[in-house]
């Protein structure tokens, strides 16, 4: 299995089991994970994203070399983001980046977002776009972060075709035809925050098994929850193989 959505570093509001890199690696390996794509919680909150990315790269190399693949944080609303992107690619040899627009203060309609997509495409980097990090119902009362509005995404992807884009932590939107239309553009989706009876099965029908990835959002959420969602939706055979590993391998190539 390849888990495309884990994170390292401290979450400011509470501690999680497995929030130390070595502990996270051990927990994932016990469950059969062969590789995990790791972002950094520090990259969400720290002003110095370059230093946060350097710590992420060191943590992955120390605790899980070859197992944890670092995905650095880049904020296109901040000065110096092009240098952050360059360092992620050229210095830390990261295969991709992870974006948190609703925490960093920009929207998907901003020209800076499109410019970042274009720069990432030129470097052949995977771009992970987090629609949510935490359910609004459990957020700290002084730190209310609404879900990211995905509606401008179709236009952005049409402007920058062939970018390797993964939507993380989708909850309720996009949905319906908007969701299916995004899948037809080549976007990939994880299902860490997909809920409801048969939720992953329904998502698979809308985006196809070739556009769905295993993402646990560990250690924020329990890894076992992701596997139980697949089991509850009775996803097996070639579809399960594609979701659990094959699609992620294709993205990395």
pLDDT digits (tens, 9 = 90+) for 134-144: 998 999 999 99
Asked whether residue 57 carries a pLDDT value surpassing 90, the answer given is: yes
Question: What are 214-249's pLDDT values in tens digits?
Answer: 999 999 999 999 999 999 999 999 999 999 999 999
- So what's the pLDDT on residue 94? 98
- Assign 203 a pLDDT band (cuts: 50, 70, 90): very high
Section 100-105 average pLDDT = 97
Other beta carbons within 10 Å of 88: 29
Question: For residue 69, is pLDDT > 90?
Answer: yes
Report the mean per-residue pLDDT for the chain: 96
Residue 22's pLDDT is 95
Question: Residue 121: its pLDDT value, please?
Answer: 98
CB 27 within 8 A of CB 18: yes
Q: What is the mean pLDDT of residues 115-131?
A: 98
Work out the pLDDT band at 64, boundaries 50, 70, 90.
confident
* Percent over 90 (pLDDT), the chain: 96
In the chain, where the domains are located: 2-252
Q: What is the pLDDT of residue 194?
A: 95
Is the pLDDT confidence value at 75 over 90? yes
Question: What phi and psi values does residue 5 have, to the nearest 5 degrees?
Answer: -145, 85
| Whether CATH 3.20.20.140 fits 2-252 | yes
Q: Are 112 and 150 in contact (CB under 8 A)?
A: no
Quick count: other Cβ atoms within 10 Å of Cβ 24?
Answer: 26
- Give residue 170's pLDDT: 95
Q: Tell how far CA 24 is from the center of its chain.
A: 17
Per-residue confidence (pLDDT) for residue 226, from 0 to 100:
97
């Amino acid at each position: 299995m390849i888990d495309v959505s884990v994170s390292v570093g401290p979450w400011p509001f509470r501690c999680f089991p497995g929030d130390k890199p070595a502990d996270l690696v051990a927990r994932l390996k016990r469950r059969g994970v062969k590789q995990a794509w790791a972002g950094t919680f520090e990259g969400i909150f720290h002003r110095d994203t370059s230093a946060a990315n350097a710590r992420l790269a060191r943590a992955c190399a120390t605790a899980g070399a070859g197992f944890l693949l670092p995905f650095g944080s880049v904020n296109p609303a901040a000065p110096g983001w092009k240098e952050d992107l360059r360092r992620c690619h050229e210095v830390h040899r990261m295969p991709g980046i992870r974006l948190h627009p609703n925490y960093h203060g920009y929207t998907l309609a901003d020209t800076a977002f499109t410019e970042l997509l274009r720069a990432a495409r030129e470097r052949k980097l995977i771009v992970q776009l987090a629609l949510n990090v935490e359910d609004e119902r459990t957020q700290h009362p002084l730190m209310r972060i609404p879900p990211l509005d995905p509606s401008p995404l179709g236009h952005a992807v049409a402007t920058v075709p062939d970018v390797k884009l993964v939507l993380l932590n989708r909850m309720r939107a996009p949905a319906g035809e908007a969701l299916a239309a995004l899948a037809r553009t080549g976007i990939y989706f994880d299902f860490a925050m997909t809920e409801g009876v048969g939720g992953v099965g329904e998502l698979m029908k809308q985006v196809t098994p070739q556009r769905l990835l295993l993402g646990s959002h560990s250690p924020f959420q329990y890894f076992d929850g992701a596997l139980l969602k697949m089991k509850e939706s009775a996803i097996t055979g070639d579809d399960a193989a594609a979701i659990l590993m094959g699609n992620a391998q294709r993205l990395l190539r």
